[in-house]
């Protein structure tokens, strides 16, 4: 790992230089793993047909589907799925699963840029299997961006770097930004173009991006495995929803005319309940089957996320210490 880090640090000036001539409208997007939207009250799960483990898998998988849609537009910079919300991201997209029943998917989406400006904050709904929902989100982001001029977008990029820098070296970057009561950030002054501290911060951020992208690439392979099983799950749920509709119609149209209290009448009542419950219980067994099938994949994803987070956290602590020491050295008054 150490050798890889050194190699990356050597290559970084090239990476950073390559980003120099970027189009300001092509902001980098970070999509945080979604909030699965599982009700805290466990007693509601069955009533709402929320299968917690399946929701957790969806929360991990659906951001990748959105990422693919955004990458496909070729209108943005790097689009990354990140394990946790990164407030310093140029544009942070987060989502909560409101409803997912195989037929309908509802996502509460929120996109906030580094300056704290809210681009999108609403529910998007669509047919689960359809690409349209993701295209609608992409359109929402594009529309929000169209309302901003180049200077504002350039500000977003600068604020993003300064907020990231403040997380790593708060003393060195104090006073560059101010925050307003509505939670937005404004640039008060910019560091000098040749500020060595900024160059270091950019290098560090580059390292983080490279590692995020490496893990991200592995995620993509794994999400392809999940996609196959998820399609089966979605189809089962869709059929179940249709079954419930058909079953209700059937029950309505086929009421037993056997005398009240007769065996035929009471058997009919029992059988109706029995079939309804068996169908619901079969759906629960699908959820278990889904979890059994994609469980190893998800465990691998979670392990890699934990590995990345652990690595970044360790490096952060080290980088913070080094940057603090450098800042003290560089600002120290001569005796």
Partner 1 sequence: MRRVLALCLLLNACSSQPTIDDSIRSYAGGMPANLSGSWERDYSRSDDIQGVLNSMLRKLSRPVQDPGFGNNRRGGGSVVPTQDLSKVVALARLADLITRPDVLTITQNEFEVSIARKDDFAMLCEFYDGYAKRTESDYGTEVCSWNGHQLVSHLVLPDGLLISHRFTKSADGRSLHVATTVSSSATRAPFTVNRVYVKFTPTESDFNCVETLSMKRVCSTGEIVP
Interaction site with partner 1 (CB under 8 A): 41-43, 46, 228-229, 232-233, 236, 248, 251, 260-263, 265-267, 269-270, 272-274, 276-278, 280-281, 285-286, 288-290, 292-293, 295-296
Query: 263 or 335, CB closer to partner 1?
Result: 263
Query: 73 or 292, CB closer to partner 1?
Result: 292
Q: Using an 8 Å Cβ cutoff, are 67 and 60 in contact?
A: no
Beta bridge partners of 32: 82
Write down the residue that tokens 């995020």 correspond to: 212
Write down the residue that tokens 């709402």 correspond to: 48
Q: Using an 8 Å Cβ cutoff, are 27 and 93 in contact?
A: no
Give min distance, CB of 227 to partner 1, in A. 12
- Cα dist from 45 to 55, 104, 191, 258, 302, whole Å: 11, 17, 52, 37, 24
CA–centroid distance for 299 within its chain = 17
Give min distance, CB of 65 to partner 1, in A. 19
Give min distance, CB of 58 to partner 1, in A. 14
Give min distance, CB of 298 to partner 1, in A. 12
Query: 41 or 335, CB closer to partner 1?
Result: 41
Query: 3 or 40, CB closer to partner 1?
Result: 40
Query: 69 or 229, CB closer to partner 1?
Result: 229
Give min distance, CB of 62 to partner 1, in A. 18
Q: What's the sign of the alpha-carbon dihedral 150, 158, 79, 101?
A: negative
What is the CB neighbour count within 10 angstroms for residue 171? 11
Give min distance, CB of 19 to partner 1, in A. 41
E strands in the chain: 29-32, 79-82, 91-100, 104-113, 118-127, 177-179, 185-187
Query: 150 or 292, CB closer to partner 1?
Result: 292
Query: 119 or 233, CB closer to partner 1?
Result: 233
- CA nearest to 71, candidates 4, 140, 134: 134
Query: 35 or 293, CB closer to partner 1?
Result: 293
Give min distance, CB of 18 to partner 1, in A. 41
CA–centroid distance for 267 within its chain = 50
Tell me the three state secondary structure of residue 97.
strand
Give min distance, CB of 286 to partner 1, in A. 6
Give min distance, CB of 90 to partner 1, in A. 38
Torsion angle in degrees (nearest 10) through CA of 229, 233, 73, 76: -80
Q: Is 116 left (phi over 0), alpha (psi -120 to 50) or beta?
A: left
Residue 313 has, within 13 A of its CA and on its CB side, a CA count of: 8
Q: Using an 8 Å Cβ cutoff, are 64 and 2 in contact?
A: no
Query: 2 or 260, CB closer to partner 1?
Result: 260
């Amino acid at each position: 790992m150490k050798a890889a880090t050194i190699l990356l640090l050597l290559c970084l000036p090239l990476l950073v230089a390559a980003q120099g001539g970027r189009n300001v409208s092509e902001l980098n997007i970070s999509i945080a793993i979604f909030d699965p939207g599982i009700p805290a009250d466990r007693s509601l799960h069955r009533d709402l047909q929320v299968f917690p483990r399946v929701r957790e898998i969806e929360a991990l998988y659906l951001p990748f589907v959105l990422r693919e849609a955004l990458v496909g537009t070729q209108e943005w910079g790097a689009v990354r799925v990140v394990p946790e919300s990164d407030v310093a991201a140029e544009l942070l997209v987060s989502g909560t699963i409101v409803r997912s029943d195989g037929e309908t998917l509802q996502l509460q989406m929120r996109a906030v840029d580094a300056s704290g400006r809210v681009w999108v904050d609403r529910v998007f709904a669509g047919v689960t299997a359809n690409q349209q929902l993701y295209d609608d989100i992409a359109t929402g982001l594009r529309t929000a961006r169209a309302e901003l001029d180049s200077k504002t977008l350039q500000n977003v990029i600068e604020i993003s770097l300064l907020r990231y820098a403040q997380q790593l070296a708060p003393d060195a970057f104090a006073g560059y930004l101010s925050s307003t009561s509505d939670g937005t950030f404004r640039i008060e002054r910019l560091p000098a173009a040749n500020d060595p501290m900024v160059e270091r911060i950019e290098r560090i951020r580059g390292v983080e991006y490279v590692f995020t992208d490496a893990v991200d690439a592995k995620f993509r392979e794994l999400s392809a495995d999940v996609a196959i099983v998820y399609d089966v799950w979605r189809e089962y749920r869709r059929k179940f929803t249709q079954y419930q509709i058909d079953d209700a119609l059937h029950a309505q149209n086929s009421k037993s005319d056997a005398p009240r209290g007769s065996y035929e009448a009471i058997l009919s009542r029992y059988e109706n309940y029995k079939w309804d419950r068996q169908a619901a219980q079969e759906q629960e067994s699908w959820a278990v089957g889904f979890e059994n099938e994609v469980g190893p994949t998800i465990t691998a994803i979670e392990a890699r996320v934990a590995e990345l987070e652990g690595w970044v956290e360790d490096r952060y602590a080290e980088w913070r210490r080094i940057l603090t020491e450098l800042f003290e050295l560089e600002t120290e008054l001569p005796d």
